[in-house]
Structure 1
């Protein structure tokens, strides 16, 4: 059969390929992933030049000199400049915004496909040169999700079931992988004590974390049991008939909303919520919407999508076959005793292994960076602390809410306090503070030396714990800290060599 454009089309009887029962899910998936792409590119605009730019802590140009295009495919392998990075990021912000407005979805099936593939390629280019600042599981998760969602098509075609099923497989890997890593990890997950500590020691607590930490221990044991049920049992039900799949997805969403309420995990929880929509049918969405707006229970009938173009069916099936082949490695990883956590098996970051917090730290350590303008660094009164936007610092400051935005420097400071091996970026960071580098200082909550950079900087390690209710009432503090050691003693910039003397004037002359 030929369509109006003359292109061959496949009849609408192909119920195994396309469905009209997940149109709302498609909208949630496309707009949700686009929203997270928008946040990710805004984050790159604000942070990438200072962290990885020409004068960054780990410059891209140095990385691409030693890492090949084959190992890390990226637009920036050919050329990098801060201006090009900003141009790419701003362009992708506009593309993501267009999907939020529903513009590509109103066109032919290839239009949202093209938009999402551009977003995928641009963010992959950033991640693959982002080094330790982009070595987080949710970076690969966004790359993979952006690629898969590209093949959901537009309103002109029925929602392709193979893509929906593969998105459920992505949620399965994400949740079941995290559950297995916990059971195979620290004993605290097996004896149900992990959340005695987690709310206090997580990378970046939020304003609610203090209150949840002080809930009864039996509540925290219940949290762990609920986590095991959600991550080890419910993922299998995502593939069950409706309404079981929708109920399983709904419970996963509720568990993610609890994590949103109690911590700052960038966009990890929000993207999981979006991806869980792949298992929720339109009837369930309308039932849920009916609680908010009763008119949604009996919506006006939607116009049926057109028949499937042959090229669309072929492309979707070819992509699904490719993704199934790539699934071998993460599936094998799930069965391995030494399960990898947040691992990519190919440079395109497609079909990855996920999982987090296999062990929970029992104590919280923080690196406090200080500067001094005094000539003698031994004068303790002259030292002032640099406050970060998200990580704990001043004990009287309540933890902030930043997710789904990602504060990359603050997260790296948490790993630094845990004893991260690669500290090259931190050495450069201290040098930038001594130089008074404006781009670096904009990553912080404030600059204690507004009139000029300090003479010395140092880094001390403190053990932090949440204050008790009595301590908070008495001292108006959220944290109590004790010094644990010195990470970097006072350092200063090396003296600059004087400029070479001008040669003496020649005698005589013309």
Structure 2
């Protein structure tokens, strides 16, 4: 019994020893060097920061400029009202703009960030360049408000902060042989990558969208991502089984790969690197998540070391490259000991960051804030939360249920015609997909797309509309073109659409990628009032009234109908007659018909069959089937016009051929009785049957009466004729008018 137990104990000890050895290697405590991976990672981060600050330069005026969407001055006034004291203000909005929030300062910091990023790319004073990138980006992120709610900024802030001690010292350090990375800094950057990978996977499993757990996430993701590409469109239409495989590959890259990177030795880290980079490349090609995937893939290089790169060059039989990598890496000098205060300060800072990151992720998973020992870190977490440099990573864990898009439409003719402001990148036309814009991140449009599908109304759309009415050059520049080059519009409406991918058949037939369904207006219309101020309509009724009062006949008609039907307001027949009269005089067909009905019944106006018939005739001549029917009634009864059965039958026929069920019934009745035309029971049967099929209950009774005068053959022919008329109406997309 002793020998097997001893053997098991030995195996356990060897296993523990092996795990410990791999943990040390992952933490940078082995014999590996990291000069080349560090050099490549820092250059890659610098390139991403070039994109970051290029975007800031392009969009700064539109986002936080004086005529932008979220002006800095208004933001700082709000912060000062919310907190007491300069220290609290600075902690909740850590930004250099507290020194000066002028447009000149904004420009200076944006270009300063770009200079720092270029310096990092060129390997000039990398530690200071990283600190400048972190501080300057933080200054913008802390004041961007709604435009800084994504993890693209958090990832870059934390990456820059952790890379400061990881980077080589000096102004022009070259490969950094004289300043190799300390093991604790290697561990922290690798731990950062592990968190980005592993936390994103765990969140999907435990608290993310249910689609991840039932393997249907990829059935939804491509359609609802900010800027899906044509590859994403085609991937969306792959069989569900393929999406299940892709979801499995996601688990592989986010859960399996990071664990293998820690415990699998160098081969495991190669596997994790390839899986992670391939995963990020696939996302970038299908979804355009800005620089997020580029930065995440580039940071995967920290999994490698100099010896792994040299071995890879040898495996590919690039002997000279292998020799060069190995020779340069061999020049790495021993890590120099730091003065005690710096050594302990560095350790304290990094280990505090380590525990805070565990704490914030545990909170995201639902850990109570009072749980010890993590609760001891709560003050630190609260103190530095707005620095966005110790974050939980939940990439793609939440999926939008469907894709909504809010568009901006302006009018300078009081709402008669509307012109749409075209986006640069968002899908808008049914036959257009977003291009391959990543790693560029259009912050303005990405924010609008996410906010459009939120549970609550977002104020950002109203502010953008206001700026467009004011003709803000900065905001106008964020659109592909200005549909009002001569003068800003005087009215702005915000229709919201649901966008869904078309199916294969529709794509082949029309070339359209999107099905675009109008859902209504996102909020009431904005308009420039008589005093030149931008005003928001209080309601739909107010919105329509504004357009009607400015001479828009279609709006006057709509307003009259709202009053007549009590739609959106109390029923008011007098007000309805007033606005319908105005619209009718300007040629609006439905207004003429409804006004004729009001004169017929004395609703809101004095009863007058002559005036009613006049309005019915005008509307009937415009082809309105309801007016044609009522004009037929007028001729049949001699109401307001001389009685004329032939004219009545003619107008009934016109209305009947447009799907008016009562006109169809009356036409059948006139054929049956021989009023205004030759009696014909077969034709009577036809129109009674058409009326019945259109929903008129009396039509079936009339059909049965007419059938008594027909033999079986005549009845069959009449039935066939009726079916042909109904089919013709359906083919013309005519809805029955009852």
Q: TM-score, normalised by structure 2?
A: 0.60
Q: 1:328 aligns with which of 355, 370, 375?
A: 355
In the alignment, the residues of structure 2 paired with residue 350 and residue 362 of structure 1 have an alpha-carbon distance, to the nearest angstrom, of 29
Higher alpha-carbon deviation: 243-252 or 217-226: 243-252
2:325 is equivalent to residue 297 of structure 1:
no
2:379 is equivalent to residue 357 of structure 1:
no
Q: 1:245 aligns with which of 238, 255, 269?
A: 269
Question: What residue in structure 2 maps to residue 406 of structure 1?
Answer: 441
How far is 1:396 from its partner? 1.7
Question: What residue in structure 2 maps to residue 469 of structure 1?
Answer: 504
In the alignment, the residues of structure 1 paired with residue 167 and residue 509 of structure 2 have an alpha-carbon distance, to the nearest angstrom, of 59
2:193 is equivalent to residue 171 of structure 1:
yes
Q: 1:338 aligns with which of 366, 372, 395?
A: 366
The Cα RMSD (Å) is: 2.6
Q: Deviations over 1:142-196 (max 9, x none)?
A: 1111011111232121222211211121122212221122122222111101111
How far is 1:245 from its partner? 2.0
| 1:315/1:137 CA distance change after superposition, 3 Å | farther
Question: What residue in structure 1 maps to residue 54 of structure 2?
Answer: 42
In the alignment, the residues of structure 1 paired with residue 300 and residue 231 of structure 2 have an alpha-carbon distance, to the nearest angstrom, of 25
Larger Rg computed on CA atoms: 2
Higher alpha-carbon deviation: 294-303 or 64-73: 294-303
Q: 1:277 aligns with which of 269, 285, 301?
A: 301
In 2, are the aligned partners of 1:170 and 1:351 still within 8 Å (CA)? no
How far is 1:17 from its partner? 6.5
Q: How does 1:31-70 map to 2 (within 5 A)?
A: 31-67=43-79, 68-70=89-91
2:108 is equivalent to residue 81 of structure 1:
no
Question: What residue in structure 1 maps to residue 283 of structure 2?
Answer: 259
In the alignment, the residues of structure 2 paired with residue 32 and residue 19 of structure 1 have an alpha-carbon distance, to the nearest angstrom, of 25
Question: What residue in structure 2 maps to residue 425 of structure 1?
Answer: 460
Question: What residue in structure 2 maps to residue 138 of structure 1?
Answer: 152
In the alignment, the residues of structure 2 paired with residue 43 and residue 470 of structure 1 have an alpha-carbon distance, to the nearest angstrom, of 39
Q: 1:220 aligns with which of 224, 233, 243?
A: 243
In the alignment, the residues of structure 1 paired with residue 28 and residue 491 of structure 2 have an alpha-carbon distance, to the nearest angstrom, of 68
Q: Deviations over 1:222-277 (max 9, x none)?
A: 11111122212222233233232232122111111111111111111111112211
| 1:368/1:496 CA distance change after superposition, 3 Å | same
More strand by share: 1
Question: What residue in structure 2 maps to residue 366 of structure 1?
Answer: 405
In the alignment, the residues of structure 2 paired with residue 265 and residue 365 of structure 1 have an alpha-carbon distance, to the nearest angstrom, of 17
How far is 1:294 from its partner? 6.1
The unaligned stretches of length 5 or more in structure 1 are 1-14, 105-110, 499-510
In the alignment, the residues of structure 2 paired with residue 265 and residue 181 of structure 1 have an alpha-carbon distance, to the nearest angstrom, of 19
In the alignment, the residues of structure 2 paired with residue 269 and residue 298 of structure 1 have an alpha-carbon distance, to the nearest angstrom, of 32
How far is 1:408 from its partner? 1.3
In the alignment, the residues of structure 1 paired with residue 164 and residue 451 of structure 2 have an alpha-carbon distance, to the nearest angstrom, of 37
Question: What residue in structure 2 maps to residue 319 of structure 1?
Answer: 346
In 2, are the aligned partners of 1:364 and 1:464 still within 8 Å (CA)? yes
In 2, are the aligned partners of 1:29 and 1:149 still within 8 Å (CA)? no
Question: What residue in structure 1 maps to residue 524 of structure 2?
Answer: 489
| 1:204/1:292 CA distance change after superposition, 3 Å | farther
In the alignment, the residues of structure 1 paired with residue 47 and residue 343 of structure 2 have an alpha-carbon distance, to the nearest angstrom, of 23
| 1:92/1:64 CA distance change after superposition, 3 Å | same
Higher alpha-carbon deviation: 126-135 or 228-237: 228-237
Question: What residue in structure 1 maps to residue 488 of structure 2?
Answer: 453
Q: Deviations over 1:412-451 (max 9, x none)?
A: 2122221354623322210111122111111111112222
Question: What residue in structure 2 maps to residue 233 of structure 1?
Answer: 256
In 2, are the aligned partners of 1:162 and 1:316 still within 8 Å (CA)? no
Q: TM-score, normalised by structure 1?
A: 0.86
How far is 1:289 from its partner? 5.1
The unaligned stretches of length 5 or more in structure 2 are 1-26, 80-88, 169-175, 369-380, 534-738
| 1:179/1:497 CA distance change after superposition, 3 Å | closer
